[in-house]
Amino acid sequence: MYKGAVVAAVVPAYKEERMISRVIDTMPAYVDHIVIVDDCSPDGTSDVVRASTDPRVTLIRHEVNQGVGGAIITAHRKAMALGADVNVVMAGDAQMDPAYLPGLLDRVTEDGYGFAKANRFYSPESFKGMPAHRVFGNIALSFLTKMASGYWNLFDPQNGYTAIRTEVLERVPLDRVATRYSFENDLLIHLNILQVPAVDVPIPAIYGDEVSSIRLSKVVPELIGRLWSGFWSRVWYRYVLWSFSPIALLGFLGLLLFVFGVGVSVWMVFQIAASVVATAATVMLAALPLMIGTQLLVSALQLDIQATPSTPTYPPFTSATS
């Protein structure tokens, strides 16, 4: 146990025959369960796990590949069935240093957060040596995830080194969370809808000699689509269905005016191209909706930032019944 909480490490593994034994051997003693999900690996990943003598290890093998998110969801469900109070995700390639695990666990066991995640980019020096296109990609993806999830206080959304309370997981509709590479982003959206307080924990990245198998041409469109649908789902549940918030009113009205202003502006450009002189009234018909719509959208954005679930609300396990 860790400070009164039963801890389970959930480990998604795909073609990790070479590294999975290191993950098991370096798992801290305070971790009560190690749930490893072999996501239909074509190598000997499962054989290596079965050879382990660590009594904490539970192995599940998918007969059909479900993606990293699908493996994590399976492991979460098993860990909850084993009675875990807190689940932490550890990669099967040993790139998540267990020495930093207490930093994550302290946030959810003592500090009152329901979810904690690692952040590799906690200082300007964190980007040192990274190609410019990757820096831009990480910043752009983080901003899009902030917008979609509503967690404006979080960065590095693709970092899967996370800790989450079981009582939070029990509220998440796991069968509706993305099962591929957009799992982390989609989970944040679901957590925000439930208004779960979340926090970033600065943890340095560990990079080995593994070659990424991610195909950006497939992953990026899927991720963008998930963020787009997730944004509207979050707005619907948090600001319309459960409580018609001023955020929804300002946002929808601002969007309507902005789109109207853009439409009139485009029409006016075609008129000018056809040698029709634009009158002052026509110009104002385009400019005013654009200006007012932009202001309303900015106001909605400011309110959404203020509504970020970041205030700790959960009691520490040391004073609660596990």
Question: What is the CATH number that goes with domain 7-239?
Answer: 3.90.550.10
- 43 contacts 12 by C-beta, under 8 angstroms: no
pLDDT for 321 equals: 47
pLDDT for 205 equals: 66
Which residue has better confidence, 38 or 242? 38
Does 214 have pLDDT greater than 70?
no
The model's pLDDT over 101-153, given as tens digits with 9 standing for 90+, comes to: 999 999 999 999 999 999 988 777 766 766 777 778 888 889 999 999 999 99
Q: Delimit the domains of the chain by residue range.
A: 7-239, 245-305
Question: Tokens representing 191?
Answer: 């957590």
Does 320 have pLDDT greater than 70?
no
Average pLDDT of the segment spanning 61-69: 93
pLDDT for 222 equals: 86
pLDDT for 213 equals: 52
Average pLDDT of the segment spanning 81-85: 95
Average pLDDT of the segment spanning 197-211: 75
Query: What is the radius of gyration, based on Cα positions, of the chain?
Result: 23
Does 322 have pLDDT greater than 90?
no
Average pLDDT of the segment spanning 19-39: 95
Does 244 have pLDDT greater than 80?
yes
Cα dihedral sign, 214-217-223-226: negative
Average pLDDT of the segment spanning 217-232: 87
